[in-house]
Amino acid sequence: MDVEAVTIDAYGTLVALHDPVPPLRAALRAHGVERSDDEVARAFAAEVEFYVPRSHEGRDEETLARLRRGCARTFLEAAGAAIDPDSFVGEFVAALRFRALPGAAEACRRLAERGLRLAVVSNWDVGLHEHLARLELAPLLDVVVTSAEAGAPKPEPSVWTLALGRLGVEPGRAVHVGDSEADAEGARAVGMRFEPAPLATAAARILA
C-alpha cells in the first residue's frame, strides 16, 4: 500500500497528562478542603468516567464551558467537597496540564519529511487545539479533528471521514496510529490500516 497520510490519536499516543493529583489537592486546600492523594485520585477517576463519553459535547465556547462545569461538579461531588463548581472550574481546568509523549514530535517530523500528511483524530473537546498549540505540536500537523467537531466519538467513523476529507486522501492510502480498541475498530471499519502506539515505533513500521 502506498501510504499518503497518517492519522494519530491524541491522548495516550501523542500526548499524556501530567499527574493532576498534586495541583487538584492544592486547589481543594485553597478552598479549605483537605483530601488525601488517594481520595483526589478517586475523585479524578470519577471525573474521567464522566468526561470520556461526553467529550464530543464541548463543540464551541458555550458548550465547552458547560462541559467543564459538569466535570468540575463531578470531581467535587466525588471528593465530597462542598464547593461551588462555578468557583472551582477554572482551577480544575488549570490543573490538567498535558505533555508530548517521548519521541512523538520527532516521529511526526520523520513522517512529514517523507511526504506524508498528518492529522490528529481524537475523542476530545475543541480545547484540544489549544493544548496542541501550547505543546508546539500544532505546526507539525496538517489537520486536527476532534469528536466534538465530528459530532460523535470514536469508534464512530465521522472523525476519520472528516479528517481524510480535509486531507484529500482515500482511506486505503492512510494509516491510523492509536492506543485503544476504539482506534483499531474504527480505523479498520473505515478501511484504514491500523498500527498500535507508541507513535515512534509505529512510524518506523510505516516508513519501513
For residue range 152-173, what is the model confidence (pLDDT) as tens digits? Answer: 999 999 999 999 999 999 999 9
Q: Is the pLDDT of residue 46 over 80?
A: yes
3-state secondary structure of 12: coil
User: What is the average pLDDT score of the chain?
Assistant: 98
pTM: predicted TM-score of the whole model, two decimal places: 0.94
Joined together, the cell numbers standing for residue 149 give 467537531
Say whether pLDDT at 61 is over 90.
yes
Domain spanning 5-16+99-207, CATH class: alpha beta
Per the listing, cell 488517594 goes with 38
Q: Where are the domains of the chain?
A: 5-16+99-207, 19-96
Query: Residue 1 has what pLDDT?
Result: 65
Relative orientation angle of helices 85-94 and 61-79, to the nearest 10 degrees: 100
Distance, first Cα to last Cα, the chain: 12
User: How confident is the model over 186-203, as a mean pLDDT?
Assistant: 98
